[in-house]
Amino acid sequence: MSRQRSRSAPESTAPAAPQGASCGARTEPEGVALSPASPVARWLLPGLLGVVTFLGLLFPLYDTDFWWHLRTGEWILRQGWVPQLDLYTFTDADRPWIDLHWGFQVLIALLHRMGGVSLVIVVKGLVIAAAVLVAFRATGEGWPLARRVACWLPAVICIWGRGYERPEMLSQLFLAIWLWVAFRVEREPQWVWLLPVVQLVWVNCHALFVLGLVVAGCGVADWALRLVWGGRFGLQPLSATTLATLRTRAVAGLLAIGAALINPYFEEGALFPFTLYQKFTNEQAFYSRLIGEFQQPKVFVMAYGPRAFANPYFAAEALVALLAIGSVVLQWRRTGRVQPFRLLLLGAFLHLAWEAARNTNIFALVATTIACANFAEAWLVRSASVQSASGGAGADDERPTATAAGSQRAAGLTRGELTVASVLSVGALLVVTGVWNRVAEGNKPFGLGEARDWFIHDAARFAGREGMPELAVVNHVGQAAVYEYHNGPGRSVLMDGRLEVCTRKTFEMLYSVLGSMVAGRKEWEGLFTSSGAELPVVILDTHTSRKPIEGLLRTPGWRLVYADRTAGVFLSEARADRLELPAVDSRILFADPR
């Protein structure tokens, strides 16, 4: 179908989509059968997609934030309430802590009690795999199942790259439910009542609950545009069915917004995502220099050039973006219709992906859901055009109808379905055998438990012994969470990785201290002695703190009293003498980490 023809009014040779169809709903032309899959393919391909997603998420824990989440979950279960002020740092101890993660923290604390870290990893894999399958079911009906599953493969790879034991694992599931409802609300408006319940749970698990409201906002904007300009500019007018259910949707939407207030911090909790957003946009340049997950994709490309695309996770993200944008162009060329909801939603999540690498997984989930919706609609319009042009499918037609194709393959898999099933099976094998990990970043070997020689558990326990200082300087900031898990609350650190508590000033203070250590200078001690506080215990990890370790080893008045492959523990000479702790050999700190 030519571009000009696709924009023109529908003719008898190209049946139009029902006028009542919305941007979110399935819009197959009348008289065109959906592309059916065989009974075997209908369960086999989505099942393999879920299994592959799950297997790719089974890698040992190495996310350091897990430990302060776990410690806080245990604290909440013991105390019976959520924290209001910071529990873990001495620099920000009087700052309010809006801990919207508390639901997630309680969940992992309970899982950890039952099965340790390994059970948490398994549940993470199940939750994120469920999110992928829910989003998979949201759109794409009518598009051949093999193509639909194949379209999700780049997204799954992106999701593997950010598949950590963090609150965002729940956010992916809640976001997928929002997408599932949004794309079927025209056909089944009763599901809109599920959304306030989702929001009520979500706001008490993660600050990304605001993404559900972003989906809702895109839907409202879509309805407003079609109400005002429907019938022009490629916009479909609102149907009588849509208009009749707008009141129901409005009430459910208001309840979803109101649900954001039902958290332990009320309006402060509801508005907190906007506080974080301003922080990361206004000070993005500062944080991205220090924290890799806040870097923009363009920075990665500028640093590595074409070699950036040798990273399979980055290449997959780029492919997801191309598929989504390509689907928008194809859908418009084939149908001549503009879908504001999908365009606004894609634009919002493209913006998030552009701002920070940490948004890769949620972008992949949303972008692929939109891509499948667009590809399915374009496929159905094309099928209608082919059938109409041929006067109906006949024996000599080179393109059999969907119904005929379905009857031919009812007994088994088509070539395309078999190919996709084989790719998924090979993918699962590559993950389980460790081949995928060697090809990718090398930090996600298949397995459970904790990453080897990564967390500073023994050093943190040593630093928490009786007689040790109650204040600690820990680097890197992620490992401060391990110290907090073993020793907090009660003993506190200069800074940890909770950017919702720690400020830029705290960050700058820590790096000033580390800079002094590297140079072997002692002025950083004034941060403590000027206020009459004791000198802290200093814990420096072996992965990121080699220069500070070298500097503190040659600084007069400091002694290395503990060392292993993960970290070194330093005390002032006076405290070490009082505790009768001799200097230990530092060579293990510089051993090959492999």
Adjacency order of strands within the sheet including 537-541 = 492-493, 471-475, 537-541, 567-572, 558-563
Query: CB neighbours of 436 closer than 8 A, spacing ≥ 6?
Result: 56, 427, 430
What pLDDT does 7 receive?
A: 35
Residue 8 phi, psi (nearest 5): -80, 175
Indicate the SS3 state at residue 569: strand
Query: Given this model, what pLDDT does residue 20 score?
Result: 35
User: What do you get for the CA distance between the two ends of the chain, in Å?
Assistant: 59
Are 181 and 248 within 8 A, CB to CB? no
pTM exceeding the 0.75 threshold for the entire prediction: yes
Domain coordinates of the chain in residue numbers? Answer: 48-385, 457-590
Q: Which residues contact 253 (CB under 8 A, 6 or more apart)?
A: 192, 195, 216, 220
Residues of the chain with pLDDT under 70: 1-36, 280-282, 284-285, 288-290, 292, 387, 389-411, 593-594
| Pair of tokens at residue 157 | 């790879």
- Could you give the C-alpha distances from 114 to 109, 120, 221, 375, in angstroms and in order? 9, 9, 46, 44
Residue 389's pLDDT is 67
pLDDT of residue 394: 42
57 and 125 Cβ atoms separated by less than 8 Å: yes
Place of tokens 């009690």: 113
Q: What is d(CA 138, CA 159) in angstroms, rounded to the nearest whole number?
A: 18
**Secondary-structure percent of the chain, ordered helix, strand, coil, rounded to 5:** 60, 5, 35
Task: Output the pLDDT for position 182.
Answer: 94
Tokens 């946009």 sit on residue: 281
